Structure 1
């Protein structure tokens, strides 16, 4: 086991090849059911979306940053729910807003 400067187990935090710290946010996620497959904010504004994301903390579904206005990011900024996933069937893509990377 290797320790970092703070005396914490650095090996347990490491990702593949020890290069990237592991995102612990995914370990804390509850099981959630996604809401309806639409961005309610976009519908209210009469806009369309390019891709939908689901919040893995609460199941809220919103549009991605692929097109404006990016309601999924706004949801993160309002709630601090850190991880979203693509709502596409069969997708395993997940994004952590805190670490600003896929997880």
Structure 2
């Protein structure tokens, strides 16, 4: 699906130079990622008639929100307003990473 793999587990990406590998306590929130819907845009920006920079998709419910570089920061807002929805992955073509908003950790696909 447009370069974004649909189903895989996630793991914390090692931080270069760090002596300890941090753990994400939220990886079990999304044991089976939702099937990616067609990329339509940031759901909140579309309702408000505003624009976004990049899209992130909640790994729990599939909500598509704009990144922290966008004026609305709707992916962040979704993660903080909806309990248990701390994980989001990029929908940018050619990229394959996720972010844990609660633990502030960068995630990569495992395997």
TM-score past 0.5 threshold: yes
For this structure pair, what is the TM-score category when the shorter chain's length is used for normalisation? 0.7 to 0.9
CA RMSD in angstroms, aligned pairs only: 2.0
Normalised TM-score (structure 2): 0.69
Count residues with an aligned counterpart: 89
Normalised TM-score (structure 1): 0.73
Larger relative contact order (CA 8 Å, sep ≥ 6): 2
Q: Which has the higher helix share?
A: 1
- What is the match of residue 65 of structure 2? 62
1:48 matches 2:58: no
Q: Which has the higher strand share?
A: 2
In 2 relative to 1, CA 67–28 (structure 1 residues): closer, same or farther, beyond 3 Å? closer
1:84 matches 2:85: no
Instruction: Give the distance between the partners of 1:26 and 1:82, measured in 2 at CA.
Output: 9
Unpaired runs of 5+ in structure 1? 1-14
Correspondent of 1:99 among 91, 103, 108: 103
SS of residue paired to 1:22: coil
Kindly name which structure, 1 or 2, has the bigger radius of gyration based on alpha carbons.
1
Instruction: Give the distance between the partners of 1:55 and 1:90, measured in 2 at CA.
Output: 18
